[in-house]
């Protein structure tokens, strides 16, 4: 018996033996799921290629776009407005997400539905809402205009539109994170002398890092991609999506493709930098 086992061991480790073929037990393969799924992945790859290949074939458009101060300014405005929108969401959306995750009030469902509204609205409707609220005679625009904050065709207008459309992305992602932190951890923190606010800051928040980061990234991506809602309140200063649309209409596909390529490239770089910087964030999120 021992000799057989030893013999089998030596056979298995012999370099002359061909590698064993893996056989999936019947019905255990994921092929039936991968095949239809790859249609979607294929569409994304193709969409990237139809932008990338023509731009790389005609680099003069890319060089022109990269050196164009209008393009640079549009990128700057877009990214800055996106960061401001995320900052506003972090300050206001984080407490809302926490309240929603811990509350059992009967009104919770109503608030959750309201938070989701920007998700289901056509972007033009969202734009109209933002315009009516923040225009110089608007419900919020008028009093804020009184303290010098103008939204129409101004940077704050872009931020307002971005915040509005990105609310559900941030709040829902962060609320899910808070929901995963057991309330018992907060109870224990409080029994040890922490107030509700300190228990939130010292226990709940550090254990929701990954979801907060993810929510911020989703919201930022959604915000910088907004077009309709932004142009309705602030055509100027021009954001990148407005510029791409303008160049598409006036300069043709090649010009708009070059700017779109730059946007994709910058977003990818930013996403990679973000992932690198936050690679250790949320390392304890799943251990709570």
Min dist CB 107 to another protein, Å, is 17
Tell me whether residue 150 or residue 288 sits nearer to another protein (CB atom): 288
Shortest Å, Cβ 206 to another protein:
5
State how far the Cα of 71 lies from the Cα of 198, in Å rounded to an integer. 45
Phi, psi dihedrals of residue 286, rounded to the nearest 5°: -90, 0
16 versus 286: smaller Cβ distance to another protein: 286
CB of 187 to another protein, least distance (A): 5
State the nearest-atom distance from the C-beta of 101 to another protein, in Å: 16
Tokens of 244: 């791409």
The DSSP 8-state label assigned to residue 106 in this structure reads T
Q: Which residue, 99 or 119, has its beta carbon nearer to another protein?
A: 99
Query: Least distance (Å) from another protein to the CB of residue 110?
Result: 19
Greatest CA separation for the chain? 93
Burial annotation 226-250 (CB, 10 A radius, 16+ → b, else e): bbbbbbbbbeebbbbbbbbebbbee
What is the rounded distance in angstroms from the CA atom of residue 231 to the CA atom of residue 224?
Answer: 12
Q: Work out how close the CB of 105 gets to another protein at its nearest, in angstroms, rounded to a whole number.
A: 13
Q: Token pair of 120, please?
A: 């289901």
Q: Both tokens of residue 271?
A: 């996403």
Contact between 160 and 233 (Cβ < 8 Å): yes
For another protein, the closer of residues 99 and 128 by Cβ is 99
> Which parts of this chain interact with another protein (CB under 8 A)?
182, 184-185, 187-196, 198, 202-203, 206-207, 284, 287-288
Indicate the residue among 150 and 209 with the shorter CB distance to another protein.
209
Q: Cβ 102 to another protein, closest distance in Å?
A: 12
Q: Which is nearer to another protein, 34 or 284 (CB)?
A: 284
* Contacts of the segment 32-38: beta carbons below 8 A, 24+ positions apart: none
- Smallest separation, CB 275 to another protein (Å): 20
Cα–Cα nearest to 135, from 149, 121, 117, 118:
149
Residue 207 or 263: the one with the smaller Cβ distance to another protein is 207
What percentage of the chain's residues is helix, strand, coil (to nearest 5)?
A: 75, 0, 25
Question: 27 in the Ramachandran plot: left (φ > 0), alpha (ψ -120 to 50) or beta?
Answer: left
Nearer to another protein among residue 181 and residue 229 (C-beta): 181
């Amino acid at each position: 018996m021992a000799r057989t086992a030893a013999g089998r061991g030596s056979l298995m480790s012999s370099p002359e033996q061909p590698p064993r073929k893996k056989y999936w037990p019947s019905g255990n393969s994921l092929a039936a799921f991968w095949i239809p799924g790859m249609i979607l992945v294929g569409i994304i790859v193709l969409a990237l290629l139809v932008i990338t290949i023509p731009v790389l074939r005609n680099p003069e458009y890319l060089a022109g776009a990269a050196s164009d101060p209008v393009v640079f300014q549009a990128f700057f405005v877009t990214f800055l407005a996106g960061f401001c929108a995320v900052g506003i969401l972090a300050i206001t959306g984080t407490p809302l997400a926490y309240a929603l995750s811990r509350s059992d009030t009967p009104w919770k469902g109503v608030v959750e539905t309201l938070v989701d509204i920007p998700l289901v609205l056509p972007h033009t409707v969202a734009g109209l809402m933002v315009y009516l609220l923040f225009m110089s005679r608007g419900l919020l625009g008028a009093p804020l205009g009184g303290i010098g904050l103008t939204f129409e065709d101004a940077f704050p207008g872009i931020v307002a539109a971005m915040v509005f459309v990105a609310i559900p992305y941030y709040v829902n992602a962060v609320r899910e994170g808070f929901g995963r932190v057991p309330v018992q951890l907060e109870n224990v923190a409080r029994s040890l002398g922490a107030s509700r606010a300190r228990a939130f800051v010292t226990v709940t928040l550090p254990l929701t890092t990954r979801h907060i980061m993810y929510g911020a990234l989703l919201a930022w991506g959604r915000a910088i991609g907004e077009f309709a809602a932004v142009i309705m309140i602030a055509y100027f200063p021009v954001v990148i999506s407005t510029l791409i649309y303008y160049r598409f209409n006036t300069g043709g596909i090649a010009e708009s493709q070059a700017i779109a390529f730059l946007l994709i490239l910058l977003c990818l770089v930013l996403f990679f930098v973000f992932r690198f910087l936050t690679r250790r964030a949320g390392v304890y999120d799943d251990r709570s």
